[in-house]
Chains A and B, each alone.
Chain A
Amino acid sequence: QITLKESGPTLVKPTQTLTLTCTFSGFSLSSSGVGVGWIRQPPGKALEWLALIYWDDDKRYRPSLKSRLTITKDTSKNQVVLTMTNMDPVDTATYHCAHVRLEDYEGNYYYYMDVWGKGTTVTVSS
């Protein structure tokens, strides 16, 4: 059974750096076709994809936030860490991590997030 759990501060001040940890079980981030993604949801708004790290350590970032985001993995600890610099009140949101699968259908490589963590709420306020 795959599970993921997010942890980190619930309150950060503007300009500070946010560090979130996703601790998972039930899969290995060394397995081909596997990744972990981060997704956030501001209050009352839509889901926003933030970042993705693959089994081979390839990393992808939301283009508009690329300069502020860093995603890393520690395979031995079964953890993925997301850092976001220069936090602003507009970054107030629930942050989720998710297990991502990359599969192939007749040469069409597609992704899906089949298991999600419950999320952690982060408020940015002075």
Chain B
Amino acid sequence: SSELTQDPAVSVALGQTVRITCQGDSLRSYFASWYQQKPGQAPVLVIYGKNNRPSGIPDRFSGSSSGNTASLTITGAQAEDEADYYCNSRDSSGNHLVFGGGTKLTVL
């Protein structure tokens, strides 16, 4: 079982805002990073650190954290944002990495 918990599926209407969450005790101490994965493709980093976007990631993607929960927010979701999203962080020992179970985002 994963030490990071994500909702299996979330949907959002085109152009609306959606928040994808990741829960885990280690998130009280460590930042999460977020990855977007489309079918048949390798994951792509979308958010890391406190709230950083790699070059080329649209500014509609943002990250935040509170307590044991990290969140990825997409403000004004687009059809191309439909994908699986994974959070990643250190585990509760701090010595290893762990992924959440992933959230399938559907854009309606």
Write the residues of chain A forming the contact surface with B, with a CB cutoff of 8 angstroms. Answer: 37, 39, 46-49, 52, 60-63, 96, 103, 105, 108, 110-119
Contacts and interface: CB of A to CB of B under 8 A. Distances in A.
Interface in B1-57: 2, 29-31, 33, 35, 37, 42-45, 48-50, 54
B48 A37 contact: no
Contacts of A118: 42
Contacts, number: 70
A42 to B, nearest CB: 12
Contact of A47 (B29, B86, B89): B86
Contact of B43 (A48, A105, A108, A116): A116
Contact of A46 (B33, B95, B99): B99
B86 A46 contact: yes
Interface residues of B, number: 27
A62 B50 CA distance: 25
Given A46-B2, A46-B102, A47-B99, A114 B50 contact: no
Interface of B: 2, 29-31, 33, 35, 37, 42-45, 48-50, 54, 86, 88-90, 95-102
15 contacts: A46-B2, A46-B86, A46-B99, A47-B43, A48-B99, A49-B97, A60-B97, A63-B96, A105-B49, A108-B29, A110-B33, A110-B49, A112-B49, A114-B54, A118-B42
A110 B30 contact: yes
A117 B42 CA distance: 7
A96 B85 CA distance: 16
